[in-house]
Amino acid sequence: MPASRLTWRLERHHGAETSLPVAPIVGTASGSFVVPTTGDPSPDVWYRVRLSVTDSTGQEGSTFVDLTPRTVQLTIRSSRSGPWLTLDGEPVSGTLTFRSVVGMSRTIGAASPQTVSDMTYQFRSWSDRGAETHVIVTPSRRVTFTATFRAHRVPVASADGTVPYAVLRR
């Protein structure tokens, strides 16, 4: 079958929803496309590649293949209960375990300093040695990213303006 009789279509799906397909590609027997590593990080995003063939009599046949992402379980956590973290700019309280697409860029963060109740938390480091807020590329194996914080009590002044206890370091 000559390439002029082939029509390719690429569709991006998010769960059961189909986004508009890109313009059809006509007249080629092979090709490739690059899946973006930024943007929508959902593990529910997948692609369908459709091929339609029209023979010399005008009869058409078609087939497709679905390309689903490889995913892995990631965890972000704090070394202490209290401070919050961020995943892709959204706040996370406590430990978060989630599925991520292998190769997808994600941003994790640990705002510093943070005061929660009577404690102030100062960011020290991430387990992967990244900056306070940094981009990770989802690896092909399960990983936990831990943010380490130093904590100290916030001194509370009494009515006469004196501090009744010293700052405690943990």
Rg (CA), the chain: 26
Residue 148 DSSP SS3: strand
Which pLDDT tens digit goes with each residue over 59-84?
999 999 999 999 999 999 999 998 99
Mark whether 46 and 94 lie in a shared domain: no
Q: Is residue 158 included in any domain, yes or no?
A: no
* Range(s) of the domain holding residue 20: 3-67
Do residues 151 and 119 lie in contact, with contact meaning Cβ atoms separated by under 8 Å?
yes
What residues are paired with 65 via a beta bridge? 49
Q: What is the pLDDT of residue 163?
A: 54
List b or e across 18-47, with b for residues whose CB sees 16 or more CB atoms inside 10 angstroms.
Answer: eeeeeeeeeeeeeeeeeeeeeeebebebbe
> Are 75 and 133 found together in one domain?
yes
Q: What CATH number did the domain enclosing 79 receive?
A: 2.60.40
**Angle, CA 147 vertex, CA 120 and CA 107 arms, to 5°:** 115
Residues pairing with 53 in the sheet: 6, 61
Taking alpha carbons only, the member of 36, 40, 18 closest to residue 9 is 18
- Residue 166 counted as domain residue: no
Domain end (from 26, 50, 67): 67
Residue 110 is assigned to a structural domain of this protein: yes
Q: Is 59 helix (H, G, I), strand (E, B) or coil?
A: coil
pLDDT of residue 154: 76
pLDDT digits (tens, 9 = 90+) for 99-138: 999 999 999 999 999 998 889 999 999 999 999 999 999 9
pTM, whole model, 2 decimals? 0.79
Give a yes or no: residue 165 inside a domain: no
Q: What gap in Å lies between CA 47 and CA 2, rounded to an integer?
A: 26
Q: Tell me whether residue 163 is in a domain.
A: no
| pLDDT bucket at 166, cuts 50 / 70 / 90 | very low
Do both 108 and 43 map to the same domain?
no
Amino acid letter at 104? M
Asked if residue 127 is part of any domain, the answer here is yes
Q: Which residues contact 76 (CB under 8 A, 6 or more apart)?
A: 85, 87, 92, 95, 96, 108, 144, 145, 146, 147
